[in-house]
Structure 1
Amino acid sequence: MKTELVIDHIVNWLKEYATNAKVNGFVVGVSGGIDSAVTSTLCAKTGLPVLCLEMPIHQAKSHVSRALNHIKWLENNYTNVSMQSVNLTPVFDSLFNELPKVANEEDRLMSLANTRARLRMTSLYYFAALNGYLVAGTGNKVEDFGVGFYTKYGDGGVDLSPIADLLKTEVYALAKTMGVNQEILDAQPTDGLWGDDRTDEDQIGASYPELEWAMQMAEQDKKTSDFEGRQKEVFEIYKRYNTANKHKMEPIPVCTIPKNLK
């Protein structure tokens, strides 16, 4: 990959889109992970105003410190970057206390994890509306179009997606070229929605390089029977997530009314 040219291409695309949309800049949720670090840096490179939001909800201290260190690095290197901290923990706790208990605690935990992402999306759009900004998405290609590893109307609720055509390994390549902090490069990818140290790999059962391989195999119309051992296991994981999360990755179905009924 021609990393520097890809960076220039994305930055120009962001700038052109914002200009054509007649908006003032971008707002990005910064989590302390690689995807939000790269997205916020790309936005900063446009020269347009960029507001970085740090929105903890019972967040691990390491996530918070990485996010704050990254934002500080951006502010030191780009005069168009500002930041806002919004502590969503009391908001989440208040909602949690009002929600009825359910029989299946595992379903409740998953629903609450997604609720965290949706509270953050609401906050991003609050500030976007105040400032006339676009919400820049932080999803990569494997997450957005492979396994659907994001929250519908949470981190999937954005105005534009600058890195959604990049594989995770390609996102790391951009990060290294742009000088993103080493602690972010070294951190294990995590969605940060559970209040503990579980990683994306813990949840999915496969690493991003493995998922990238499986995505490539699926694009070549390979079948599970074509593989054995770990490759077969990874391909099955990929296909399971891809199938289960189609509703996120495809347009919302619209019931079309026949003309003779109107």
Structure 2
Amino acid sequence: MHTEKVVDYIVNWLKDYAVNAKVKGFVVGVSGGIDSALTSTLCAMTGLEVLCLEMPIHQSENQVSRALNHIDWLKERFPKVRMTQVNLTTVFDSLVESLPKVEDEESRFMSLANTRARLRMTSLYYFAALEKLLVAGTGNKVEDFGIGFYTKYGDGGVDLSPIADLLKTDVYRLAEFLNVNQEIIDAPPTDGLWGDNRTDEDQIGASYPELEWAMKMDDIGKKESDFTGRKLEVFKIYRRYNTLNKHKMIPIPICEIPNILR
């Protein structure tokens, strides 16, 4: 990968899109993770306005501190970067109290994790409409088009996706090139939806380099019978997530009425 040229390409793409859309810049949810750190940095490099939102919901302290440190780093380097902190914990807790109790606690727990992401999306679009900004997505290629590891209408609800054609290893490569804070580069990837320190690998059962390998194997038509051991296990994990989350990665189905019935 020609890292510097890729950075320039994304920055120019972002700026051209915003200028053509006649908006002032971008709003980015900054979580303390590598994807949002890279996205916010690329947006800042356009020279347009960038509003960084830090939106904790029962967030672990180290995630919050990484996010705030990154935003401070951006503000020191780019004069048009601003920050607003919106603590959504009380909003989330109030919503939870308003919802009816259910017997299936595991399903309820998962639904509430996704609800966190949707509350953040709502906040991003509030500021986007208020200040004429575009919501910049932070999803990478493996998450968005491989295993669908994001929340539909949560972190998947964006106006444009500047890093969605980058593998996770590409994201790290660009972040290191741009001197993103080392604490973010060193932190294990996490979606931050659970109020604890569980990592993406804990949830998925495979690392991002493993998933990238499986994605490549699937793209060239490999089957489970082609692998054994850990490779077979990883390939099965990838295929399971890819199948279960296919609804996130294809256009919304439309029931098209036949002309004969009109």
TM-score range relative to shorter protein: over 0.9
Say which SS state the counterpart of residue 161 (structure 1) adopts: coil
1:100 alignment partner in structure 2: 100
CA-CA distance at 1:64 after TM superposition:
0.1
Letter in 2 for 1:43: C
CA-CA distance at 1:75 after TM superposition:
0.2
- Work out the CA distance in 1 between the residues paired with 2:75 and 2:261: 58
Letter in 1 for 2:132: G
Letter in 2 for 1:51: L
Q: Deviations over 1:75-124 (max 9, x none)?
A: 00000100000000000000000111111111000000000000000000
Letter in 1 for 2:161: S
CA-CA distance at 1:6 after TM superposition:
0.2
- Work out the CA distance in 2 between the residues paired with 1:257 and 1:72: 53
2:247 alignment partner in structure 1: 247
Gap runs ≥5 in structure 2: none
Q: What is the root-mean-square deviation in Å for CA atoms of aligned residues?
A: 0.4
1:203 alignment partner in structure 2: 203
- Work out the CA distance in 1 between the residues paired with 2:185 and 2:135: 24
1:73 alignment partner in structure 2: 73
1:9 alignment partner in structure 2: 9
Instruction: Confirm or deny that 1:47 pairs with 2:47.
Output: yes
CA-CA distance at 1:181 after TM superposition:
0.1
2:35 alignment partner in structure 1: 35
Letter in 1 for 2:144: D
Q: Deviations over 1:30-66 (max 9, x none)?
A: 0000000000000000000000000000000000000
- Work out the CA distance in 2 between the residues paired with 1:200 and 1:110: 15
**What TM-score, normalized by structure 2, do the two folds share?**
1.00
2:84 alignment partner in structure 1: 84
Q: Deviations over 1:159-189 (max 9, x none)?
A: 0000000000000000001110000000000
Please say which of residues 16-25 and 201-210 is displaced more in the overlay: 16-25
Letter in 2 for 1:9: Y
Task: Write out aligned runs for 1:1-262 (5 A).
Answer: 1-262=1-262
- Work out the CA distance in 2 between the residues paired with 1:254 and 1:20: 29
**What TM-score, normalized by structure 1, do the two folds share?**
1.00
Say which SS state the counterpart of residue 240 (structure 2) adopts: helix
- Work out the CA distance in 2 between the residues paired with 1:241 and 1:2: 30
- Work out the CA distance in 2 between the residues paired with 1:105 and 1:225: 36
User: How many residue pairs get matched?
Assistant: 262
- Work out the CA distance in 1 between the residues paired with 2:21 and 2:37: 24
- Work out the CA distance in 2 between the residues paired with 1:42 and 1:80: 13
Say which SS state the counterpart of residue 84 (structure 1) adopts: strand
- Work out the CA distance in 2 between the residues paired with 1:260 and 1:66: 59
Q: Percent identity?
A: 76
Say which SS state the counterpart of residue 190 (structure 1) adopts: coil
CA-CA distance at 1:261 after TM superposition:
1.3
Letter in 2 for 1:121: M
- Work out the CA distance in 1 between the residues paired with 2:103 and 2:148: 27
CA-CA distance at 1:245 after TM superposition:
0.2
- Work out the CA distance in 2 between the residues paired with 1:250 and 1:214: 20
Letter in 1 for 2:136: A
Say which SS state the counterpart of residue 252 (structure 1) adopts: coil
- The runs of at least 4 consecutive aligned structure 1 residues that moved more than 6 Å come to none
Letter in 2 for 1:120: R
